[in-house]
Structure 1
Amino acid sequence: MKKILFAASECVPFAKTGGLADVVGSLPQYFNKEDYDVRVVMPKYLCIPEHFRSQMTYIHHFYMYFNGRNRYVGILKLEYQGITYYFIDNEEYYSGSVPYSDYFYDLEKFSFFSKAVLSILPSIDFQPDIIHCHDWHTGLIPVYLKNEFASDLFYTSIKTVITIHNLRFQGTWSIPEIKRMTGLSDSLFTSDKLEAYQDANFLKGGIVYADYVTTVSETYVEEVKTPFFGEKLDKLLWARSNCFCGILNGIDYREYDPAHDNQIYQTFDAKTFRNRKTKNKSALQKELGLEENPKTFLIGIVSRMTDQKGFDLIERVLDEILSQDVVQFAVLGTGDTHYEDMFRGFAARYPGKLSANIYYSEALSHRIYAGCDAFLMPSLFEPCGLSQLMALRYGTLPIVRETGGLKDTIEPYNEFANTGTGFSFANYNAHEMMATLRYAEHIFYDQKRRWNQMVERAMKKDFSWEASARKYEKLYDNL
């Protein structure tokens, strides 16, 4: 039995701010339980829902020297859907109303978390073969393991994997502050270890010291080795090429299942979507105040509203599309104030054609995936992306830019071979995006039989966690 410990800053259903939580919450469910004992450790935030906190069992507590004094480390445990979860308790660090707060304070509390993850292992009677670290928040775990904990026999056989979910976020601050906080040796703050551009860099430390590095799609692996996508770590990632790979994320097909989803208006599958998906569309148009016409081309957007997600492209051509095309937009999300206000303005200017829902609702996102015809996702870069996988599952054809996981998961429509599961464009250009959107619009209106065949192919695609879990098992076995 191989023992694996996932370490992460968030995990569904306990705390979620993004796709990282979905991955950490879903992936452990899909390992072969006869061969792998996969457990998860995360902070015990005060913002974890009370009905989960009340079910946690106290295991032990101790005091750990960190940042100049001994600090409380509490350990709690919860069994949920067959997986064991551990929660590290310290109210000084984790009593906020949200998982993340001031950036410097985040660095301190996740430094504490990284050291505490290793420190609790003897107390929970679990000696993992591999600690699987996720993003910069856990980047110091491999550093501590190979340095401060290296002389303890309990830890000498433990290997580490670090997964980069988004290279843009690295956890950086001044070297003197991080050195004082972490207590790590001066020798670790050099250009071949934690130092990067005169700052200490948590993610770089994890990449340098982990036994293996992964990211969340095959294309993103190659992209981050280039200066444009590499966020100033491209040379390091290139140097680690022999132990760096991409394993595509999946989605939980039990949660995202149009045949059994109680959050949508009408359940459907690949055989019944022709009639039932239209009912979802009509109900969504009514709910969002759009003109109720099931024959109108309805495009969904569910996203953080940032430049990374391609909203500067949308801004450039949206007025032209809304004024000239027979289309509707159902928009859901929050982000940069500029883009939030932009969508509010377009909703006021084009009532019945665009609905701007500037908040987040899991239930409404399901109804948008189920009720729209197409899903727009023109990202500047996208390590993997989950929204396009959800859209495929609900037969809503993605319109994407060919980058990262979007390139790996969406097969562009080929009208000559009648193949494909969506539409894509290569260059980060607003008018190229608009041309692709209008091509999709043309297929929807003028070749409806071809469109429905594409929807059927999209719904039959399998991007569940099963295939990804097998690849992680092979990686663990090799280590």
Structure 2
Amino acid sequence: MKKILFAASESVPFIKTGGLADVVGSLPKYFDKEKFDVRVMLPKYMCMKDEWKEKLQYHTHFYMDLNWRKQYVGVLEMEYDGIRFYFIDNEYYFNGYAPYGDIYADIEKFAFFSKAVLSALPLIDFRPDIIHCHDWQTGLVPIYLDNFRYGNEFYRGIKTVMTIHNLKFQGTWDPKRVRDITGLPQYYFAPDKLEAYKDANYLKGGIVYADRVTTVSNSYAEEIKTPFYGEKLDGLMNARANCLSGIVNGIDYEDYNPLTDNKIERNYDVSNFRKEKIKNKIALQKELGLEENQKTMMIGVVSRLTDQKGFDLVAYVMDELCQDAVQIVVLGTGEEQYENMFRHFAWKYPGKVSANIYYSEAMSHKIYASCDAFLMPSLFEPCGLSQLMSLRYGTVPIVRETGGLKDTVEPYNEYEKTGTGFSFMNYNAHEMLATVRYAEQIYYDKKRDWNKIVERAMNKDFSWKNSAKQYEELYEGM
């Protein structure tokens, strides 16, 4: 039996700021329990909900050197959904209203966490064969592991996987401070190791020292070898290309199931969506004060409202788009200019545009279930989960061909009658608009073809089962 430890800074249901939490919380359940013992280690944040904090059981505690500081490390644990979760406790580091705050504090916090993960292992009686590290917050784990191997038999032979969820976030700070914080020897602070462009870079260190590097889609794994997507690490990505692979994320098919979802007006599946899905649309039009007309094409957006997600393109053609026979429903928060842009168009076209500038899990489910199409014109997208949810709910994705979007949405081909969505290639507002209008044309003029797209979309399987199989192969191959 192979023992695997996931080390990460967030996980559902305990704490979540983004897609990383979904991966860490959902993926472990899908491994073959006969062959893999997968456990998860997280920080114990003060801002976790009390319902979780009350369920944690004390396991052990010890004191650990973090260079010249001596720090308390508590280890708590609980079982959830058949998976054992460990929580590293230290109130000095993990207090505060959010898991991340100011980057300088985070640099020290996650140096502490990375070292504590390894230091706790002998005391919890779990020696993993592989430590699977997620994003820059655990980038120091492979480096500390390399450092611990000298003079400590226990750590020899433990392998590491480093998964990049978004290369944009790397965890960088000035090397002198990082050396002072981590207590790592000067040897590690060299351009072929932790250092990048005169900074100490946690993610880079993790990538250099990990045995395998993965990202969350095949296309993204290729893209990050180029300067445009590589965030200045493209040279390193090419150097490690032989150990680099992409495995696309899944979504929890129990949480996101139009047949059993209790957050939506009317349940449906692939056999009856033609009649039942529309009832969700009517209910949402009523709730949001849009013009009530079941025939109008409704386009949904659920997203962080940032440049990365392509909202500069949307802003550029929004007025033109509002001349079409469509309704647009937006849910999310982000950069002020985009929040205000959507508010403006909701004011200008009250029956057509609904701007919901907040985040709500329940409302997101309603949008996935009610809309006809889902717009996601990202500049880059390591994996993307929204398009997978849209496919699951039979809401046709309109995406830019990048990263995970390219890997999961097959563009409609009207001659071969194939495809599960619509896509455009260049990062260009009018190319996006033309693609949206092409989708409108199929929706209005070729309804049978449209329904076939929906059917193919709903029959796709992007559950975690697929991803787990690929991770199992990766672990077996190490």
TM-score by length of 1: 0.99
Structure 1: gaps (5+ residues): none
Report if the CA contact (8 A) 2:378-2:402 is conserved. yes
User: Who is 1:375 aligned against?
Assistant: 374
Structure 2 letter corresponding to 1:46? M
Matched pairs, number: 478
Report if the CA contact (8 A) 2:148-2:155 is conserved. no
Report if the CA contact (8 A) 2:166-2:382 is conserved. yes
Q: Please give the alpha-carbon distance, in whole angstroms, between the structure 2 residues aligned to 1:383 and 1:51.
A: 33
User: Who is 1:5 aligned against?
Assistant: 5
Q: Please give the alpha-carbon distance, in whole angstroms, between the structure 1 residues aligned to 2:241 and 2:158.
A: 22
| Structure 1 outlier segments of 4+, above 4 Å | none
Q: Deviations over 1:114-172 (max 9, x none)?
A: 00000000111100000000000000000000014442110101100000000000000
User: Who is 1:444 aligned against?
Assistant: 443
Structure 2: gaps (5+ residues): none
Q: Deviations over 1:261-296 (max 9, x none)?
A: 001111100001011100000001111111111100
User: Who is 1:332 aligned against?
Assistant: 331
Q: How does 1:183-194 map to 2 (within 5 A)?
A: 183-194=183-194
Report the alpha carbon displacement of residue 46 of structure 1 after superposing the two structures with TM: 1.0
1:101 aligns with 2:101: yes
Q: Please give the alpha-carbon distance, in whole angstroms, between the structure 2 residues aligned to 1:142 and 1:67.
A: 18
User: Who is 1:396 aligned against?
Assistant: 395
User: Who is 1:38 aligned against?
Assistant: 38
Q: Please give the alpha-carbon distance, in whole angstroms, between the structure 1 residues aligned to 2:219 and 2:115.
A: 33
Report the alpha carbon displacement of residue 458 of structure 1 after superposing the two structures with TM: 0.3
User: Who is 2:114 aligned against?
Assistant: 114
Report the alpha carbon displacement of residue 66 of structure 1 after superposing the two structures with TM: 1.1
Q: Deviations over 1:324-354 (max 9, x none)?
A: 2011111000111111111111111110111
SS in 1 for 2:368: helix
Q: Please give the alpha-carbon distance, in whole angstroms, between the structure 2 residues aligned to 1:281 and 1:5.
A: 43
Structure 2 letter corresponding to 1:372? C
Q: How does 1:12-161 map to 2 (within 5 A)?
A: 12-161=12-161
Report the alpha carbon displacement of residue 69 of structure 1 after superposing the two structures with TM: 1.4
User: Who is 2:411 aligned against?
Assistant: 412
Structure 2 letter corresponding to 1:31? F
User: Who is 1:359 aligned against?
Assistant: 358
User: Who is 2:455 aligned against?
Assistant: 456
Structure 1 letter corresponding to 2:193? K
Q: Please give the alpha-carbon distance, in whole angstroms, between the structure 1 residues aligned to 2:67 and 2:170.
A: 21
SS in 1 for 2:163: strand
Q: Please give the alpha-carbon distance, in whole angstroms, between the structure 2 residues aligned to 1:61 and 1:338.
A: 47
Q: Deviations over 1:170-204 (max 9, x none)?
A: 00010111010000111111110011000000000
Report the alpha carbon displacement of residue 365 of structure 1 after superposing the two structures with TM: 0.2
After superposition, the Cα gap between the structure-2 partners of 1:261 and 1:150, relative to the gap in structure 1 and judged at 3 Å, is: farther
User: Who is 2:471 aligned against?
Assistant: 472
User: Who is 1:302 aligned against?
Assistant: 302
Q: Please give the alpha-carbon distance, in whole angstroms, between the structure 1 residues aligned to 2:270 and 2:67.
A: 56
Q: How does 1:157-306 map to 2 (within 5 A)?
A: 157-306=157-306
Report the alpha carbon displacement of residue 67 of structure 1 after superposing the two structures with TM: 4.6
Q: Please give the alpha-carbon distance, in whole angstroms, between the structure 1 residues aligned to 2:117 and 2:98.
A: 21
Alignment RMSD (CA, Å): 0.7
Q: Please give the alpha-carbon distance, in whole angstroms, between the structure 2 residues aligned to 1:321 and 1:138.
A: 43
SS in 1 for 2:124: coil
Q: Please give the alpha-carbon distance, in whole angstroms, between the structure 2 residues aligned to 1:359 and 1:71.
A: 39
Q: Please give the alpha-carbon distance, in whole angstroms, between the structure 2 residues aligned to 1:476 and 1:142.
A: 16
Report the alpha carbon displacement of residue 357 of structure 1 after superposing the two structures with TM: 0.6
TM-score by length of 2: 0.99
Q: Please give the alpha-carbon distance, in whole angstroms, between the structure 1 residues aligned to 2:47 and 2:327.
A: 37
SS in 1 for 2:74: strand
Q: Please give the alpha-carbon distance, in whole angstroms, between the structure 1 residues aligned to 2:165 and 2:151.
A: 31
Q: Please give the alpha-carbon distance, in whole angstroms, between the structure 2 residues aligned to 1:210 and 1:150.
A: 17
Structure 1 letter corresponding to 2:166? N
